[in-house]
Structure 1
Amino acid sequence: MKTKLLGRTGISVSQLCFGTMSFGGDADEATSASMYKAVRDAGINFFDTANEYSKGKSEEILGRLTKDHRDDLVITTKCFNATGPDVNARGANRRHVVQAVEASLRRLQTDRIDVLFLHRFDPVTPIDEMMRALEDLVRSGKVIYPAVSNWSAWQTQRAVDIQERHNWARLQVVQPMYNLVKRQAEVEILPMAAANGIGVIPYSPAAAGLLSGKYLGQASGRLKTNKMYEARYGEAWAFEVAEKYVAFCKEKGLHPVSAAIAWVGAHPAITAPIVGARNLDQLKDSLASVKIDMTPELYREIADLSRTPPPATDRLEEQKVAKG
């Protein structure tokens, strides 16, 4: 397992980040522990969770698994989504963020969060207020590096500009969705991150299993029954891309999940794709991604199987000229 520098932090993280969304949900405590051991044995030192995953159980299980060697790890968590029925138990306002961090610290059994993501953009809280919340937590020592997830490029750049103007701790990591059928991040998010020296740890590199091929030709499965995934990946063209991609991998002798993750990780702006699993069998294919030699030629061949998003200016003629 290779390592990469995380943004401009100066710290090194494994080329894969292990996401623990399944802990306490699809994976019980014993299965979670077995997967944790497997990824540690593979050389992963980078872990991602969130306060909402399994209603806090993900953080609790991760905390129990890591407490004896906490200093060897880089742990991220997130806050924003509702954590209770109260009208104020949500959002990225200072009040909720401080409360959420205190609760996450207890569940993780740690005295600091290495990377704290604001899980969503809060449309009712000004960006400077959100960044001040992160700054207060950095100054208190409870958070080391501020970060955002699911923010647009302009929102992130605006936040960085505010932080630099006030000499506050800068955003060091972003977490967008990114995979072969969800390539919008290529247009502005990834160039913005590269220009600012911000680390990128994208989620869903295998498109929630779509790129594994297991959902092709099926009338059921979570891409059909889960409303979030159906909205995200339910369009016919996404399945057409997946079908072409799986056939390509079969022809090349590649496992489609391993190759999908390796393709995401090969983008020069990407620090570490987030890989997750419900069991050890699923996990092994994700870990095998580091063994794939993603040459520039193979990278282009895979990219050509899907839609390239239009440039930010929507001047498609310039994109075609650049390719030609």
Structure 2
Amino acid sequence: MEYRTLGRSGLRVPVLSFGTGTFGGRGELFGAWGATDVDGAREILARCLDAGVTLFDTADVYSDGAAEEVLGAALGRRRDEALISTKAALPTGSGPNDAGTSRHHLRKAVHDALRRLGTDHIDLFQLHAYDATTPVDEVLSTLDRLVEDGAVRYVGVSNHAGWQLMRALERADRHGWVRPVAHQVYYSLLGRDYEWDLMPLGAEEGVGAVVWSPLAWGRLTGRIRRGTPAPPSSRLHATAAAGPPVDDELLGDVVDVLDRIAADTGHTVPQIALNWLTTRPTVSSVIVGARDLEQLDQNLGAVGWELDDEHLALLDAVSRRPAPYPHFPYERQDGFAQLNPPMAGLRR
């Protein structure tokens, strides 16, 4: 397993991490993802740790907290071998303070997560969403105190716009508070919006990407092709509306190229899609999921080898979408492009 620093921090994380959205099985959305219990999770986590996958991602809203409970119980005595990442901000109840990033909610969320996880610290704590109703200084000073108290080791954000993250970084630097070192983002061959603003920001400010849904909400598993609907067993039938939108023509074009590369390399469609992400600038870790050991082993096969330059160029070309404003002048006009070198020049 390859390890990378998490953004501009000293914490080393595996290039593949494991997401626990399939743990617990509570609720309509997460019940459709999976219902792995403690015994099943213990087998999966053991296989992960033995393969060098040491970072496990969860959240308080995953199965109404059950995912954290299963993760903590399944790790058991191997807790010290693992890094735990969890998130809070989304609603966990109907009360007026059951959501957001207020000092009240964040401190309670961390306390509750520690209890469910059965641990004394969270290695990476992330704001699951931007909260426009809470002053940024209140959010950051609270995170700083949580780190000072030892309840949290590192902090990050998730699903933030560029200006929201930059505002947090500027305020943290101004006051000497702990700054976010991770941004948990959607990024895949079918959704490269991360590249326009968040990737350059991450490179400039030392914020590493922790990628969620790298297979585009299950569309790049190799089971869906042009003109072929998702099989009856696909969780897409129950979860598609909650995930990122995908253009069917783009899906067909990308899978055609993935099939061609699979024939050339002997690797599977999802392995190639995951491997491509590990080559992208600012990516610290790519979160994979699995409902059983067979699926996990398939995902683990995405690392330990490299795509050649020809295959990388094919994937880049087929998945690239026209740049939105204000980016398109820099892509299409020489004068603008001269002032803004392409992202390919960035170091990972």
Taking structure 1 as the reference length, the TM-score comes to: 0.92
Q: In the TM superposition, what is the alpha-carbon distance from 1:312 to its structure 2 partner? A: 5.6
After TM superposition, the structure 1 = structure 2 runs for residues 233-248 of structure 1, keeping only pairs within 5 Å, are 233-248=245-260
Q: In the TM superposition, what is the alpha-carbon distance from 1:8 to its structure 2 partner? A: 2.4
After TM superposition, the structure 1 = structure 2 runs for residues 179-198 of structure 1, keeping only pairs within 5 Å, are 179-198=188-207
Question: What is the letter of the counterpart of residue 245 of structure 1?
Answer: V
Q: Which residue of 2 aligns with 1:163?
A: 172
1:218 has 2:233 as partner: no
Could you report, residue by residue, the CA deviation over 1:28-76 in whole angstroms, capped at 9, with x for unpaired residues? 3222222111111111111111111111111111111223132322211
1:20 has 2:29 as partner: no
Q: Kindly indicate whether the alpha-carbon contact (under 8 Å) linking 2:257 and 2:314 is maintained by their aligned counterparts in 1.
A: no
Q: Kindly indicate whether the alpha-carbon contact (under 8 Å) linking 1:200 and 1:272 is maintained by their aligned counterparts in 2.
A: yes
Q: Call closer, same or farther: CA 1:292–1:206 in 2, change over 3 Å.
A: farther
Q: Kindly indicate whether the alpha-carbon contact (under 8 Å) linking 1:112 and 1:143 is maintained by their aligned counterparts in 2.
A: yes
Q: In the TM superposition, what is the alpha-carbon distance from 1:279 to its structure 2 partner? A: 1.5
Q: Secondary structure at the match of 2:86?
A: strand
In 1, the alpha carbon distance for the partners of 2:325 and 2:155 equals 27
Q: Call closer, same or farther: CA 1:123–1:313 in 2, change over 3 Å.
A: same
Unaligned 5+ segments in structure 2 are 26-33, 343-348
After TM superposition, the structure 1 = structure 2 runs for residues 131-170 of structure 1, keeping only pairs within 5 Å, are 131-170=140-179
Q: Call closer, same or farther: CA 1:140–1:263 in 2, change over 3 Å.
A: same
Q: Kindly indicate whether the alpha-carbon contact (under 8 Å) linking 1:149 and 1:176 is maintained by their aligned counterparts in 2.
A: yes
1:61 to 60, 70, 77: 70
In 2, the alpha carbon distance for the partners of 1:228 and 1:85 equals 23
The range that moved more, 16-25 or 238-247, is 238-247
- The percentage of counterpart residues that share the same residue type is 35
Cα RMSD between the aligned structures? Answer: 2.0
Q: In the TM superposition, what is the alpha-carbon distance from 1:83 to its structure 2 partner? A: 1.4
Question: What is the letter of the counterpart of residue 4 of structure 1?
Answer: R
The range that moved more, 298-307 or 33-42, is 298-307
1:206 has 2:215 as partner: yes
Q: Call closer, same or farther: CA 1:23–1:225 in 2, change over 3 Å.
A: closer
Q: Kindly indicate whether the alpha-carbon contact (under 8 Å) linking 2:38 and 2:73 is maintained by their aligned counterparts in 1.
A: no
Aligned length: 322
Taking structure 2 as the reference length, the TM-score comes to: 0.86
1:232 has 2:244 as partner: yes
1:295 to 308, 311, 321: 308
In 2, the alpha carbon distance for the partners of 1:309 and 1:130 equals 36
1:304 has 2:317 as partner: yes
Q: Which residue of 2 aligns with 1:47?
A: 56
2:275 to 254, 262, 267: 262
Question: What is the letter of the counterpart of residue 134 of structure 2?
Answer: T
Q: Call closer, same or farther: CA 1:226–1:72 in 2, change over 3 Å.
A: closer
In 2, the alpha carbon distance for the partners of 1:314 and 1:14 equals 32
Q: Secondary structure at the match of 1:37?
A: helix
Could you report, residue by residue, the CA deviation over 1:86-134 in whole angstroms, capped at 9, with x for unpaired residues? 2321111111111111000001111111110000111222222222221
Q: Kindly indicate whether the alpha-carbon contact (under 8 Å) linking 1:18 and 1:274 is maintained by their aligned counterparts in 2.
A: yes
In 1, the alpha carbon distance for the partners of 2:154 and 2:125 equals 6
In 2, the alpha carbon distance for the partners of 1:213 and 1:57 equals 30
1:282 has 2:290 as partner: no
1:249 to 261, 267, 279: 261
In 2, the alpha carbon distance for the partners of 1:3 and 1:317 equals 33
The range that moved more, 297-306 or 284-293, is 297-306
In 2, the alpha carbon distance for the partners of 1:5 and 1:250 equals 30
Could you report, residue by residue, the CA deviation over 1:254-304 in whole angstroms, capped at 9, with x for unpaired residues? 311111111111112111111111112211111001133123332222111
In 2, the alpha carbon distance for the partners of 1:167 and 1:89 equals 29
Q: Kindly indicate whether the alpha-carbon contact (under 8 Å) linking 1:211 and 1:246 is maintained by their aligned counterparts in 2.
A: no
Question: What is the letter of the counterpart of residue 142 of structure 1?
Answer: A
